[in-house]
């Protein structure tokens, strides 16, 4: 019970202090809008294409939202030493880190549905598989957040967190089949794609929105869940080794 009081308080505090701040809320609107406009301008197509690019824009909104926020907020608290207070609290480390990451997961999920709401005004969203979209969004948000945690544990400065995040994020934009199918990538790049969690998340989202997938949905979701567990365990081990020296 004691651990869950702490869990809830950390989540609430982070939502209030970081995620619900006006600059972050505006990020959630401007970011997907900018990506959508960029694709329309590049392809020269009309609004009718909105549905085909929706999975990619949703995945990008989650990826950039979660990794940026988590890596920066954790590094910020480490730098100001307030994170020490969390480490001194009598709650298991895994509960503490779940609490610290939950805010980013919620932020990612909310970010994902901003482009859906925007798209609903310009195209017909009928025929979408909503449960599949919900599951894919949740798992992409969790895996991206844990990727952010992995980054946060590896750096000590806020600017390093941003730079190191980009090292992972920008290749994922092109390699994970968000806007360009993995099967059309050069053969030598494909193995890299299959090592990235977003490849499976993007495929699941394409299935939910457009009805076409490279792999069975359950396999995509299971692999994503596997990435979530793996990234979380690696991050916990790194925290034990680096922060509790």
Binding site for other proteins (CB under 8 A): 1-3, 5-6, 8-10, 13, 17, 77, 80-82, 84-93, 244-245
CB 153, min distance to other proteins, A: 16
If the CB atoms of residues 8 and 170 are measured against other proteins, the closer one turns out to be 8
CB 18, min distance to other proteins, A: 8
If the CB atoms of residues 9 and 45 are measured against other proteins, the closer one turns out to be 9
183-209: burial string, b at 16+ Cβ within 10 Å, e else = eebeeeeeeebeebbbbbbbbbbbbbb
The span from the CA of 141 to the CA of 184, in Å, is: 26
Residues of the chain by 3-state class (helix, strand, coil), percent to 5: 80, 0, 20
CB 107, min distance to other proteins, A: 17
42-74: burial string, b at 16+ Cβ within 10 Å, e else = eeeeeeeebbbbbbbbbbbbbbbbbbbbbbbbb
If the CB atoms of residues 78 and 169 are measured against other proteins, the closer one turns out to be 78
If the CB atoms of residues 2 and 180 are measured against other proteins, the closer one turns out to be 2
If the CB atoms of residues 74 and 141 are measured against other proteins, the closer one turns out to be 74
In this structure, are residues 173 and 60 in contact, taking their beta carbons and an 8 Å threshold? yes
CB 22, min distance to other proteins, A: 13
CB 141, min distance to other proteins, A: 24
CB 13, min distance to other proteins, A: 6
Place of tokens 């859906």: 116
The span from the CA of 59 to the CA of 132, in Å, is: 14
DSSP character at residue 121:
T
If the CB atoms of residues 3 and 222 are measured against other proteins, the closer one turns out to be 3
In this structure, are residues 72 and 110 in contact, taking their beta carbons and an 8 Å threshold? no
What residues contact 205, with CB distance under 8 A and at least 6 apart?
Answer: 55, 58, 59, 133, 136, 137, 140
If the CB atoms of residues 195 and 244 are measured against other proteins, the closer one turns out to be 244
């Amino acid at each position: 019970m004691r651990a869950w009081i702490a869990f809830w308080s950390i989540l609430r505090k982070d939502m209030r202090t970081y995620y619900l701040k006006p600059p972050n809320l505006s990020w959630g609107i401007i970011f997907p809008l900018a990506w959508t406009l960029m694709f329309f301008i590049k392809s020269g197509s009309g609004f009718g294409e909105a549905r085909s690019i929706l999975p990619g824009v949703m995945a990008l909104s989650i990826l950039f939202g979660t990794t940026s926020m988590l890596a920066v907020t954790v590094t910020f608290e480490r730098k100001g030493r307030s994170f020490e207070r969390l480490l001194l609290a009598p709650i298991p480390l895994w509960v503490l880190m779940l609490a610290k990451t939950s805010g980013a997961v919620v932020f990612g999920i909310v970010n994902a549905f901003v482009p859906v709401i925007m798209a609903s005004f310009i195209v017909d969203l009928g025929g979408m598989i909503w449960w599949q979209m919900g599951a894919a969004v949740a798992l992409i948000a969790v895996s991206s957040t844990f990727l952010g945690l992995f980054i946060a544990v590896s750096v000590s400065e806020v600017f390093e967190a941003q730079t190191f995040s980009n090292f992972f994020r920008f290749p994922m934009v092109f390699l994970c089949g968000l806007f360009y199918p993995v099967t059309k990538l050069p053969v030598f790049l494909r193995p890299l794609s299959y090592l990235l969690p977003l490849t499976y998340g993007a495929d699941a989202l394409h299935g939910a929105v457009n009805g076409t997938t490279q792999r069975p949905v359950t396999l995509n979701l299971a692999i994503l869940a596997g990435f979530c567990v793996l990234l979380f365990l690696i991050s916990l081990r790194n925290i034990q080794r680096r922060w509790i020296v």
